[in-house]
Structure 1
C-alpha cells in the first residue's frame, strides 16, 4: 500500500485520519502530545490519547510516517518471534495515512517511578535484563529479518568528531581535555567488531513503562528505530537512567539470562556519545536539558560514573 500521512498537525486532520483507520475513535475525546509545527520534516510526528483508552501515533511528513510503518511491522513480527515481550497491543494500523493505534496501559515511564526504586533492586534489574535478553536473542533477529526484510542500524546522537568540534564552548575550560581524551578512548573501543542482534534502538526511561504499586515492568514502547546493532548499544542509557548500582545489577542479570558477556567499556563508549550528543543538540537548539542543568554538569556526571565503574567487580 502507498504510504501517506496527514496534511497538517491539527486535531481535525487527526480525526479525519481516524475515520479511515479506526472509525469508532474518530469522534472520541482527544488529548494530543507533541502536536507542534516543525520546520524539520524528521520531527513532524506526535501522539494522542483517545477516550483515555487508546494511544495513536501519527505523522504529517514522510520520515516519521516511515518510522510508524516500520514500528508496525516490527511489532507484528515480534508477536510471533518473541511472544513473551511486554509490547503494546495493536488495535489498528495503516500505511495510508500512516497511523498506529494501541491500547493504553495504565503505567508510568521509568523516570516517573525511579525515585521509588531502591538501588540495585533485584526485581527491577531482572525485569530490565529480561526484556533486553529476549530481544537480543539471535533467533529473534533472524525471525524479524525474515518477516520484514533489511533492518536499519540505529545511531547515537553525535559522532566523536562532532563532540570534539562543537562541545568545547559549552563546558568548562578544565573539562575540554578530558572530553577529548574520552572521545579518543571511545573511538578505540568501538573500532573493534561486536555481535549483531535486534536492538530496540532507543531504550531510555520514557520507553519502558512500570506499575507504580508493584514496581514491575509493564510495557516496552516506541520501537520505531528498532534495527540491527550490538547489545551494548541498547544498554547505553542505563548508567544514567538507573544509576550505577542498578545498571550493574541489570548487567549481571542479563549475562546470567542470556549466557553471553557484555562489554562494559563498549556500553560506556555508547553512553558517552549519547549523553554528550544529547547535551550538545539541546544546548545548540536552546532546548533545556531534561534535568535543567548544564552540559558542564553532565560532564561531571559522566566522570562520576566512570569512577564508580572503576571499582565494579563482576560476580
Structure 2
C-alpha cells in the first residue's frame, strides 16, 4: 500500500482520516496540538488527543508522513527487541493516510516536572533515564530492529535541529556578543576534532529531549518514551546530548554513572558535549533566524553563557 497523507491541516481532514483508520474515533472529541499551516513540508505534521483517551499523529506532507510510518515500524519491532521499554501502546496505525493512534497515558513531559526533582529524588530519576537508554542501546536491539524494518537511518541527519559546525561558524556570530564569537569558533573546532572518529553504533531514540520522556508527577518516575520518529543507528552519546541542559549537571552526571554501571560500557563525555554544543547552538540559530522565541525566552548570547557554565562544571572544554 502506498504511503499517503492528509490533504490539509484541518479538523475535518483529521476526522476524514480517522474514518478510514479508526472509524470508532471519527466522531469523538478531538483536541488538536500544532494543527496549523507550515511553509516547510518538514513541519507539516501535528497530533491530537481524541476522546481524552488516545493520541493520534498525522501529517499533510510526505516527509513527516514517512517519519510517522517509520515510528510505527520501530515501535512494532521494539516490542520484541526490548520488551522492558516503556513504549506507547499502539491502538492502530496506517500508511494510507499515515496515522498512528496510541493510548494516552496520564503523565507529564520531563520539562514540566524537573523542578520537582530534589536531591532525594535524583538517584531514582537518573536510574530511570539510564535504564531506558541502556535497554534501547543494547547491541541486540539494533540487530533485531534492522532485521525487522531494514537498516535504520542516521539520526544525526534526520534530527530537526541538525546544524553543521560550518553553518554555525558562518551565521551564529551575529547573534552573540563580540566577546563570545571567538569562543563559539573554538567550540566548533573542538567539536569537529572530538567527533572526527566514529563512535560505536547502537539503536538511538534520536530526539531524547525533555518533551519526549513522560513522568508521573506524584512519584517522579519515568512512565513513557515517545516520538521515535527519528530513531536510527547512531552512537550512544548522541542520545544523551540534550540531558546536560534538560536535567542539569548533577542529574546528568548521575545518569551517565548509572548507564555505565548498567551497560558495563563507558560513555565519552567529550562526545556527549560536542553533540550537545551542536544541538544547543543549532536550536538557537534556526529559532533566531525564523523569528521564533527560544523555549526559555532568553537570548542566544545567554545560551552561550549557559553553555560556558556547563563546560566549566564538567571540565570538558579548555
TM-score, scaled to structure 2: 0.97
- State the alpha-carbon separation in 2 of the partners of residues 17 and 226 from structure 1: 25
3-state secondary structure, aligned to 1:121: helix
Runs of 5+ unmatched residues, structure 2: none
Q: 1:167 aligns with which of 163, 172, 178?
A: 172
Q: 1:201 aligns with which of 197, 203, 206?
A: 206
- State the alpha-carbon separation in 1 of the partners of residues 7 and 190 from structure 2: 46
Q: Which runs of 4+ in 1 moved over 6 A?
A: none
- State the alpha-carbon separation in 2 of the partners of residues 188 and 4 from structure 1: 42
- State the alpha-carbon separation in 2 of the partners of residues 290 and 41 from structure 1: 22
- Tell me the residue number matched to 1:228: 233
- State the alpha-carbon separation in 2 of the partners of residues 118 and 307 from structure 1: 22
- State the alpha-carbon separation in 2 of the partners of residues 271 and 192 from structure 1: 17
1:304 aligns with 2:303: no
- Residue deviations 1:117-160 (CA, integer Å, cap 9, x gap): 02571000000000000000000000000000021101252111
User: Shift of residue 193 of structure 1?
Assistant: 2.0
- Tell me the residue number matched to 2:136: 135
- State the alpha-carbon separation in 2 of the partners of residues 193 and 64 from structure 1: 28
RMSD of equivalent CA atoms: 0.9
- Residue deviations 1:215-267 (CA, integer Å, cap 9, x gap): 00000000000000000000000000000000000000000001100000000
- Tell me the residue number matched to 2:155: 154
Q: 2:249 aligns with which of 244, 248, 252?
A: 244
3-state secondary structure, aligned to 1:191: coil
Q: 2:217 aligns with which of 203, 212, 217?
A: 212
- Tell me the residue number matched to 2:19: 19
Runs of 5+ unmatched residues, structure 1: none
Q: How does 1:81-120 map to 2 (within 5 A)?
A: 81-119=81-119
3-state secondary structure, aligned to 1:139: helix
- Residue deviations 1:14-63 (CA, integer Å, cap 9, x gap): 00100110000000000000001011111100000001100000000000
- State the alpha-carbon separation in 2 of the partners of residues 15 and 284 from structure 1: 35
User: Shift of residue 301 of structure 1?
Assistant: 0.3
- Tell me the residue number matched to 1:37: 37
3-state secondary structure, aligned to 1:126: helix
1:256 aligns with 2:261: yes
- Residue deviations 1:190-211 (CA, integer Å, cap 9, x gap): 0022100000000000000000
- Tell me the residue number matched to 1:145: 146
- Residue deviations 1:168-187 (CA, integer Å, cap 9, x gap): 00000000000000000000
- Tell me the residue number matched to 2:125: 124
1:70 aligns with 2:70: yes
User: Shift of residue 100 of structure 1?
Assistant: 0.1
3-state secondary structure, aligned to 2:49: strand
- Tell me the residue number matched to 1:190: 195
- Residue deviations 1:86-135 (CA, integer Å, cap 9, x gap): 00000010000000000000000000001100257100000000000000
- Tell me the residue number matched to 2:181: 176
3-state secondary structure, aligned to 1:183: helix
